[in-house]
Amino acid sequence: MLKRRRILVVGNWKMNPATLARAEKLFVDVEKTIKNKTLRVDMAIAPPLLYVGALSELSGPQKIEFVAQDVSTHESGAHTGEISAAMLRSHGIKCAIVGHSEMRAAGESDESINKKLHALLAVKSVAILCVGESERDGNGNYFGVVEDQLRSAFLDIKMDDVKRMVIAYEPVWAIGTGVNARPEDVEEMRLFINKVLTDLYDRATAEAIRVLYGGSVTPDNAAELLKQGAIDGFLVGGASLEAKKFVEIVKISDQYAKLA
């Protein structure tokens, strides 16, 4: 039986909404429904970085953390278009999504993912490291895929640092398809991730790391995934663009945290 960690629900807005006005409306709609609630879960949003300044002005007493969708491997210099971990931190952003399958599909390498984790740790920030297979075959090859992703991402990352990381298991075939992974398969992968981390570090370290699930999470499947999936929260894509659905997923997670 895995130890319970504090649940984290993150909304990955990707390259949405199309305008700042719509982003502000979405943010305010999320904010107002949770404003006066004491949540037992952590909650964060990864909007397009350009919107963060304006959105943080609208932030109410229930502080929603902002997460970056990416970070540069570099510290500074001639790297047009890139944003460093230190720059993010100077804007209060202490966490970035790294290794999202959409970035991997666009050519992001294991080496670059590892460098990004080191870049974040160098300024005491953390990553939500995304791992996940592109397809599920009958031979269980997806375990090997996830193991390789974990081993290469955590190369030369110290035990004390890795404890602060978050892993998001996002099977590529479940992202944006409306077909979520089965809770029992999520549980199996969660246990496998724990085994790989125990092998790489030790049991206590493995138990300290939160593992989220992402891939077609909705209010309809969130409870089941939490209950059977043995995960510590969600990385939500599409449903985080609808305030009502995202808040519902947060509420379901909060309810679960209360019972657990």
Q: Which residue numbers belong to the known binding site for substrate?
A: 12-14, 176, 216, 237-238
Report how far Cα 202 is from the mean position of its chain's Cα atoms: 23
Contact between 216 and ligand 13P (CB under 6 A)? Answer: yes
Instruction: Enter the tokens of residue 100.
Output: 């999202």
- Beta strands 8-12 and 210-213: pairing type? unpaired
Contact between 186 and ligand 13P (CB under 6 A)? Answer: no
Residue 101 vs 114, nearer CB to ligand 13P: 101
Spatial distance between the Cα atoms of 83 and 85, rounded to a whole number of angstroms: 7
CB closest to ligand 13P, residue no: 237
Residue 27 vs 169, nearer CB to ligand 13P: 169
Spatial distance between the Cα atoms of 176 and 202, rounded to a whole number of angstroms: 34
Of 59-67, 82-90, 168-176, 225-233, which segment contacts ligand 13P by CB under 6 A? 168-176
Answer for which of 8, 186, 235, 257 binds ligand 13P (CB under 6 A) is 235
* 157 contacts 121 by C-beta, under 8 angstroms: yes
Contact between 47 and ligand 13P (CB under 6 A)? Answer: no
Contact between 67 and ligand 13P (CB under 6 A)? Answer: no
Contact between 214 and ligand 13P (CB under 6 A)? Answer: yes
Contact between 133 and ligand 13P (CB under 6 A)? Answer: no
Q: How many CA atoms lie within 13 A of 132 on its CB side?
A: 32
Instruction: Enter the tokens of residue 44.
Output: 């964060």
Catalytic residues: 100, 170
17: cis peptide before it, omega within 30°? yes
Site for ligand 13P in 83-122 (CB under 6 A): 100
Report how far Cα 254 is from the mean position of its chain's Cα atoms: 17
Contact between 176 and ligand 13P (CB under 6 A)? Answer: yes
